[in-house]
Structure 1
Amino acid sequence: IKDIIVTLFIALLLVILVVFIFIQDWRATLIPTLAIPVSLIGAFMFFPALGFTINVLSLLGLVLAIGIVVDDAIVVVEAVQVNIAKGMNSKDATLDAMAKVTAPVIATTLVLIAVFIPVAGMAGITGLLYQQFAITIVVSVIVSSVNALTLSPALCSILLKEPKPYGGPLGWFFKKFNQGMDKTTDAYMSFTNVVARKLKRSVVFIVIVTIAAGIFGGMVPGGFIPEEDMGYFFVNIQLPDAASLQRADVVSQQVEHIMAEYEEIEYITTATGYSMLSGAMTSNSAMIFGSLVDWSERDLTAEEIIAMVNKRLMTEIKGAQVFAFGPPAIPGLGNGSGFSIMLQDKGGNTPEYLAENTINFIKAANEHPAIGKAFTTFQATVPQRFMDIDREKALKLGINLNDLYTTVGAFMGGSYINDFTRFGRLYKSYIQAEPKYRVNEEQINNFFIKNDVGKMVPLATVATIRPISGPDYTSRFNLFRSVEVTGGPAEGYTSEQARVALKEVAAEVLPQDMSYAWNAMSFQEEKASGQLGIILTFSLIFVFLILSAQYESWSLPFSILMGTPFAIFGALIALWAGRMISPTFENNIFAQVSFVMLIGMAAKNAILIVEFANDEFKKGDSLFDAAVKAARSRFRPILMTAFSFILGVFPLVIASGSGAEARKVMGMALLGGMSVATLLGIFMYPMLFVLIGKLAGYEKKREKLKAVEVENKLT
């Protein structure tokens, strides 16, 4: 949370800097700046009513909201400044500006609300994760919109004046910046004039971009939730079957010595006789908890430290399976990171049958290039000893069976007696036979049981021990006897690719009377897979319906929404390029939240142009002239809001510490998506207005309407 708060303030400063560079007036900069704390504090006020807490997800949503909430205030301030530059006083300039920008502000707000409605309505854990972002951003945007329509105009009428030119280095910088903006605007208008006339070629270009987005979507592998550096990791130790607790303790100490050599590992805690993966208490297992030093005090990530530790464990620890692994991405969903698949015996076969097919499955899985390692702690042939009690003989000798079982349990496993106080502390006392008296089954001759007349009877008189084999434990999943197979994807592969590989292996290896089911995080990932297309489709439908109601037109919203492929294309390109640096850049749940947000942001930019063009068209301009005027007047505000958003999310791209992987994925997707949507969209939005206007016959309808009005006047 501390890292995200730092990111929050960095994003805030960058957004303010962008606004000041474009507006070049500290009074005008103050108005959008005030919109940020007003919107964020307003969002906090709604948290208790919504049942939200200040956590990593909600704070991350607020980081994203920073680049959005200033947009409405920027649009208002920019419109007022244009009027003041024309010679109007601040009050009249504000009133005139609000008459022009109220509709776009409301439209963009409704779009951002509509785009997150399908996300907020999702069920399950995936839905809860989406809701944290969606509702946080929606509440912030609503407060921002109210602020832009109430507080911002009031501040404009009070604070804004004819700006005085700056002197010194700042004045020189602003002069050069404005000259550059003028040249950029002229070049933009020249190209826009060409694009708006070449409708067929422009449509082909949009189709190509859409197809390219689909291609890159297939090139970026999917995922669920990235494995984060949480500051700790686990080590599981598995000795050969029936190994003693003492041997497990010896191996644990060897592992501790290896881990102690790494200065990045601060604390080491060991628990022998317990398997972290199976959750069973067995004598041949142990687990170690390694706590890392603070992120600021180390250069290596937890993943890198785990890889280094595993490399040494594989070469230096003999006679045991020892490996380190990270915690699950969501605490409580599984015992560790990676995948978890349950192999189910639906034929009611023996544990040996299940174990044999599990071994075949693991062998085939480990040969697949997408699987880094697959393993299980289940064994069906663990050496055991079966004690056969002659109950009839025991009763004849006056031995109480409960006393017999209690005695065997106390000798072999230990039994709690009582508590006693010594040196001011409370101690527990247990009884158990010395290790040398329970080395083998012949030691049973040393155990005696008191019968009902007080005589000591040798246990060997009524009990015989014979060797058997069987599983230490069995587990059931969906009522079937099952074995859990865990592991992780190979380097460079994602969890989704690992799941697909396991499905292929299961189809090839498992017999007909066996099946598989996903467990823990893998179950949630499987449940959430394939939802991206549904989410984006419903988001577009909701936005379309909102815009249709806003403009009272079924055709005009198409000129806004046809530009959204640019944003998705940019996000996918950014993720694809990011994978060249790190394999953690994948199409996971955080990237999908970014896609939804980009639909709203791309539509928001389009609305600024289409709304103005539609107004100019209603005043009598042709479709082309209206689009060109809108492009020129809205070019600077669009760049301002786009750069505010881009720099607002830039701190996410360079994030570090806990939760950094999720922030990097989201930041990269938003950065790439908004950059491409702005770079291409500003040229395509005017063209799309002209295209839709011609296809829908706007000019013909206007001429018919004028003819009807003239006819009505004559009659």
Structure 2
Amino acid sequence: MNLSAPFIRRPVATLLLSLAILLLGGVSFGLLPVAPLPQMDFPTITVQASLPGASPQIMASSVATPLERSLGTIAGISQMNSRSSQGSTRIMIQFDLDRDINAAAREVQAAINASRELLPSGMRSMPTYAKVNPSQAPIMVLSLTSEVLDKGQLYDVASTILAQKLAQVSGVGEVQIGGSSLPAVRVALEPRLLDQYGIALDEVRQSISAANAKRPKGAVEDAERHWQVQASDQLEKAADYLPLIIRYQDGAAVRLGDVATVTDGVEDRYNSGFFNDEQAVLLVINRQTGANIIETIAGIREQLPALRAVIPASIELQVAMDRSPVITATLHEAEQTLLIAVVLVILVVFAFLGRWRAALIPALAVPVSLVGTFAVMYLLDFSLNNLSLMALIIATGLVVDDAIVVLENISRHIEAGETPMAAAFKGAREVGFTLLAMNLSLVAVFISILFMGGIVERLFREFSITLAVAIVISLLVSLTLTPMLCARWLKAETSEHRPSAMQRWGGAVQTRVLAFYARGLDWALKHSLLMLFSLLATIALNIFLFVSVPKTFMPQQDTGQLIGFIRGDDGLSFQVMQPKMEIYRRAVLADPAVDSVAGFIGGSGGINNAFMIVRLKPVTERKISSQAVISRLRETVPKVPGGRMFLMPDQDLQIGGREGRSSENEYMLLSGDLDALRKWLPPVREALRALPELTDIDAKEVEGTQQIRLVVDRDVAKRLGVDMNMITAVLNNAFSQRQISTIYDSLNQYSVVMEINPQFAQYPETLDQIQLITAEGARVPLSSFARWERSLEEDRVSHQGQFAVENIGFALAEGVSLDQATQAINNAIARVGLPTEVQGMLGGTGGAFQQTQQNQPWMILLALVVVYIVLGVLYESYIHPLTILSTLPSAGVGALLALQLMSIEFSLISLLGLFLLIGIVKKNAILMIDLALQLERQQHLSPQESIRQACLLRFRPIMMTTLAAILGALPLMFSSAEGAEMRQPLGITIVGGLVLSQLLTLYTTPVIYLYFDRLRHRVNRWRGVRTDAALETPL
């Protein structure tokens, strides 16, 4: 059966169908979203709860624990982390990758509702949840600065106006604001004056709450008119609160201004942001799932003039960070690489066949295959990203193989004297099964990736399906368009035809190379044992090289951006932390490779923590990698007592969702016994710090934060009419920046914040001046029934899976791979000797690496088994698939040697290259074996003569297809612009594997074929089965 015959006879229909594929693909290309990597949705939900003034221990025990117990009953949770700090608890729940996030969100809300009765009654509101994607980095950061307005006013503009308008831009998801908080009226009470007037804190709170109300007042009307009732029931500015009467004493009014300083400030004074050298409020913008990053950022930039027009003229709105330039440059470089690959493979065809007409045929077939792939990508909601474009670049060398096999076979018949039409019918029919075997076995490799599950399947799904689709379209094109064009465009050789100089030179070179190969092939067939030994040697060498090659999870990207974390010693005040932050900020900004720095200190991260985004200059200007910039900053940034700075390159793929981590890698200690965890943290921390393979160790340095512990004499307190609720309430009033009233505005809501004057809150002795009001109205000093003492307590409490956890972040020393660091850590922990009640494990990227490393051999084995099954079905043989797969060990050796010679670590991208080699290298064996079987059946040649002739006849297409694949990957190998870190390992793996495989398999495959043929004959004789080649008709 000749599948190509109808298309050869109907050239118009064939061309129109090809044009339709081009049209659909071209339209789809413009609709595809753009992203750095495929959409990686880690179903994650965060639960946020607040109890102002509560210590981390209270938040962990009374808020986090009840919530965790309730949430822990939800099915499909893969990991649950919580972090409790002063007044706040944040729980991050990661679900299985196949869990529906919307269904999970409904169950999370139900779990929160179920825990209502177990939560403290003093919580102003129930915990809230939000769906997040921890792997998705912000796409843009805007900064607001002003020489006139304070940071509270800037935050108000950002919250009230800008965040709302930005959220309306197509593609924009969550907009977060940092660097300050909303404006507020701050009431700073003077303890001495309160004591002088005999006024308790709660009395002030009640007076303010009662005097500032915003409630419905109804309406009055008569027979003709209707009047809405309004009242001056709300105080809006600090000056309005000063004359507020707290009480009358001795006939005179005691006003709020008599006992407090009232100012217009912000809700949280332990919060500040910056952009370069200026105080700033930052707008951190994330995109919606599946949105086109480039179009979303372009839409935001289009709105900037309109946004600047609606905010006060004294505010300067600037772009502090924009991810689009690097992404655009990376994708542009990938597109250029794709074009270069197409040109190179077309030149291969011309170099071997010496005719431009012949070269133009694959020049048309390749675009149809590649452009047609865009239509399927659009239907599957794929994006244009580094991996999908790499798939198309690699596909260039693969799809041209099909056109080359058809074109070369038809050309061979034309050179033998047949007409182009007859040669097209005959040549297409001869290689039809060969193409089917080559492409189905290649598709099987990538389809097997889809069954691996986990992050590998999610990461490489688009790559695999994109490449598989391109291959299937290429198979269809090679059986339809290519033979039709050969029948119409190629010309028969005539006696009057004089070959061009290029053809004569190319023909002479090919003749000499073929003769050299024939001599080498004859030698290999005579020394078959040596060839067999070389195969066994490559298998053993594969195992050795795979074990010894340095490994990592993913190549370290240079995104032009660094993430910085500044840690202050536990117990440092916000006022002390700010100058330390300034030292680090100035040092980073002074580096010649740094373009800008933006960040904030305090807020939800804690008063002794700061975060910064460092934008680097383009790589063409700085001339060094982002990792080299970090190494230089480690040397140039001054050592600040009580502070530490950690920098890491920002990556497109974010593994792990723990908040505030300072490194991609971390080691976690877990225990149900908090005391045991505290005991074993220091020896583990010091053991890791002593390892030369690690640097930037980030772990808790002291056993707690200095705290004031109030010891209450409950008997005396009871006698005085005071209970614990009254005590905690008065302390909350005094020291928690308590929000005691709400000011309603037409655009937003603001708070009245009460505390004692910060200058009095600096000393523990202030506690002695605090008074309480009993139920009978008596005022009781706190010192009459309680004393205070200094103690050390945790400033934050973290849980994972309801176990207490401590995280130790670390970075890799220069020249150290992740697997080397992992081995060093395991050895160090073994020497420490953790007890059974304390468990240690790698987290973040290190944890993901450890999991995938264990699965890698099984992934490769699965791909081999799938290919074997497909080939066995096609050839109806148990033996021939083994012969074809015998080509793979040499490719593995070549790939691993190339990685080591180029000092490239083996990563998931390199693993992807090995999968590609499994699909590519076996094509050579299929071309040989398929023709050898045909010669045995049709011409009744001996197995040795048939395989020898098959090798010589298929030598030219084998060289052409292999060179096309090598040249298609060569631009990846030598890529040096943006995004090269992701492309280089793939190119090096493919080129190295193909080169060594080509040198060996041309000689080892015929030998293996003959050995297995003899084995087959012996087995069949033992079974009493005929062994005619005619019985071995492929499917």
The change in CA–CA distance for 1:21 and 1:455 in structure 2 (over 3 A counts) is farther
C-alpha RMSD of the superposition: 3.3
For each residue in 1:105-161, what CA deviation from the matched residue of structure 2 results, as whole angstroms up to 9, or x when unmatched?
Answer: 001011102223332201111221232322221121111111111121122212222
Kindly indicate whether the alpha-carbon contact (under 8 Å) linking 2:767 and 2:783 is maintained by their aligned counterparts in 1. yes
- Give the 3-state SS of the residue equivalent to 1:54 in structure 2: coil
Which residue is 2:538 aligned to?
A: 209
> Contact 1:339–1:488 at 8 Å: present in 2 too?
yes
Residue 91, structure 1, aligned to residue 91, structure 2: no
Would the aligned equivalents of 2:564 and 2:662 in 1 still touch at CA under 8 Å?
Answer: no
- Bigger mean CA deviation after superposition, 355-364 or 246-255: 355-364
Change (3 A) 1:470 1:90: same
1:241-256 maps to which residues of 2 (within 5 A)? 241-256=570-585
Distance 1:425 1:175, change over 3 A: farther
In the alignment, the residues of structure 2 paired with residue 12 and residue 426 of structure 1 have an alpha-carbon distance, to the nearest angstrom, of: 60
- The 3 A distance-change label for structure 1 pair 337 and 238 is closer
Contact 2:562 2:647 in 1 (8 A): yes
Q: Within 5 A, what are the aligned runs for 1:467-486? A: 467-486=790-809
Residue of structure 1 in register with 2:528 after alignment: 199
The answer for the alignment partner of 2:512 in structure 1 is 183
Which of 793, 816, 822 is the matching residue for 1:493?
A: 816
Q: Which residue of the partner structure matches residue 703 of structure 2? A: 380
More deviation in 40-49 or 150-159? 40-49
Instruction: Give the Å deviation of 1:698.
Output: 9.2
1:514 matches 2:838: yes
Q: Is the 8 A contact 2:655 2:845 kept in 1?
A: no
Q: Which residue of 626, 635, 648 maps to 2:955?
A: 635
- Does the 8 A contact of 2:439 with 2:472 survive in 1? yes
Work out whether 1:7 is the aligned partner of 2:337: yes
What residue identity is the alignment partner of 2:572? Answer: A
Measured in 1, the distance between the counterparts of 2:427 and 2:801 equals 64
**In structure 1, the residue corresponding to 2:695 is in which secondary structure?**
strand
Aligned partner of 1:160 in structure 2 is 490
- Residues 1:654 and 2:974 are matched in the alignment: yes
* Alignment correspondent of 1:234: 563
Counterparts of 1:349 and 1:700, CA distance in 2: 69
Specify the code of the residue in structure 2 equivalent to 1:283.
Answer: I
The amino acid across from 2:483 in the alignment is P
Select the residue among 840, 862, 867 that pairs with 1:538: 862
TM-score, structure 1 normalization? 0.89
Q: Write the deviation string for residues 373-392 of structure 1: whole angstroms up to 9, x where unpaired.
A: 43313643321112345678
Q: 2:922 aligns with which of 586, 593, 603?
A: 603
Aligned equivalent of 2:945? 625
2 CA distance for matches of 1:523 and 1:479?
19
Report if aligned partners of 1:420, 1:427 keep a CA contact under 8 Å in 2: yes
Structure 1: 5+ residue stretches without partners: 275-279, 580-584, 710-715
TM-aligned CA deviation for residue 60 of structure 1: 1.9
Structure 1 counterpart of 2:167: none
Aligned equivalents of 1:707, 1:6: Cα separation in 2: 49
Rate the CA distance shift 1:615–1:407 in 2: closer, same or farther, 3 A: same
Instruction: Determine if contact 1:371/1:501 at 8 Å carries over to the other structure.
Output: no
One-letter amino acid matched to 2:544: I
Contact 1:109 1:142 in 2 (8 A): yes
Q: Could you say if the C-alpha distance between residues 73 and 247 of structure 1 is closer, same or farther in structure 2, counting changes exceeding 3 Å?
A: same
Instruction: Say whether the 8 Å CA contact 1:265–1:290 is kept in structure 2.
Output: yes
Q: What's 1:680 paired with?
A: 1000
What residue in structure 1 maps to residue 149 of structure 2?
none
Q: Which amino acid aligns with 1:306?
A: I
Partners of 1:482 and 1:360 lie apart in 2 by 15
CA shift for structure 1 position 452: 6.9
| One-letter code aligned to 1:613 | A
* Pair 336,707 (structure 1): closer, same or farther in 2 beyond 3 Å: closer
**Separation in structure 2 between the aligned mates of residue 706 and residue 242 of structure 1, nearest angstrom:** 86
Q: 3-state DSSP class of the match of 2:759?
A: helix
- Aligned AA (2:671): D
CA distance in 1 between partners of 2:662 and 2:608 (Å): 20
Are positions 1:289 and 2:575 aligned together?
no
- Greater Cα offset, 503-512 or 662-671: 503-512
Match of 1:340 among 653, 661, 666: 666
SS in 2 for 1:229: coil
Match of 2:816, SS state, is: coil
- Cα displacement (A) at 1:2: 3.3
Q: For 1:236-255, what per-residue CA distance to the aligned partner results, in whole angstroms no more than 9, with x for missing partners? A: 22222211111111111101
The answer to whether structure 1 residue 16 and structure 2 residue 16 are counterparts is no
Equivalent residue, structure 1, for 2:689: 366
SS of the residue corresponding to residue 529 of structure 1 reads helix
In structure 2, the partner of 1:556 is: 880
CA contact (8 A) 1:488 1:498 kept: no
Cα distance in structure 1, aligned partners of 2:1030 and 2:564: 82
Deviation at 1:486, TM superposition (A): 1.5
* More moved, 563-572 vs 532-541: 532-541
The answer to which structure has the higher helix fraction is: 1
Q: Secondary structure at the match of 1:467?
A: strand
Q: Deviations over 1:34-79 (max 9, x none)?
A: 2222222332222344443333222222222111111001111111
Change (3 A) 1:487 1:415: same
1:665 pairs with 985, 1009, 1015, which one?
985
Q: Kindly provide the amino acid, as one letter, of the partner of residue 505 in structure 1.
A: A
Contact 1:328 1:336 (8 Å CA) reproduced: no
How does 1:119-138 map onto structure 2 within 5 Å?
Answer: 119-138=449-468
Distance in 2, matches of 1:514 and 1:252, equals 35
* Contact 1:225-1:329 at 8 Å conserved across structures: no
1:438 paired residue number: 761
- Point out the more displaced range, 562-571 or 529-538: 529-538
| Whole-Å separation in 2 of the counterparts to 1:697 and 1:289 | 69
Q: Structure 1 residue 141 and structure 2 residue 471: aligned?
A: yes
Give 1:634 deviation, angstroms: 1.2
Deviation of 1:484 (Å): 0.8
Change (3 A) 1:176 1:318: farther
Query: 2:731: which partner in 1?
Result: 408
* In 2: Cα distance, 1:431 partner to 1:38 partner: 70
What is the one-letter code of the residue matched to 1:553? S
1:707 & 1:566 partners in 2: Cα distance? 29
The one-letter amino acid of 1:648's match is G
Structure holding more strand per residue = 2
Give CA-to-partner distance per residue, 1:436-464, whole Å, 9 cap, x none: 22211113355556677888765545654
* Cα distance between partner residues in 1 of 2:606 and 2:494: 79
Shift of residue 420, structure 1, vs aligned partner: 8.2
- Structure 2 residue 622 is the aligned partner of structure 1 residue 298: yes
Structure 2 counterpart of 1:604, which letter? Answer: K
Determine the structure 2 residue equivalent to 1:582.
none
Residue pair 1:598, 1:673 contacting (<8 A) in 2 also: yes
3-state SS, counterpart of residue 469 of structure 1: strand
Aligned letter for 1:322?
Answer: M
Equivalent position SS for 1:531: helix
Structure 1 residues 391 and 419 mapped into 2: Cα distance closer, same or farther (>3 Å)? farther
Shift of residue 648, structure 1, vs aligned partner? 0.9
Q: Which amino acid aligns with 1:154?
A: M
Matched-pair contact (CA < 8 Å) for 1:623–1:699: no
Contact 2:734–2:755 (Cα < 8 Å) also in 1: yes
Number of corresponding residues: 692
Instruction: State the SS of the aligned residue for 2:641.
Output: coil
Gaps of 5+ in 2: 1-330
Q: Secondary structure of the equivalent of 2:708? A: strand
For 1:695 and 1:180, how far apart are their aligned partners in 2? 38
The answer to whether the Cα contact below 8 Å between 2:932 and 2:950 also exists between their aligned partners in 1 is: yes
Equivalent pair of 2:936/2:1029 in contact (CA under 8 Å): no
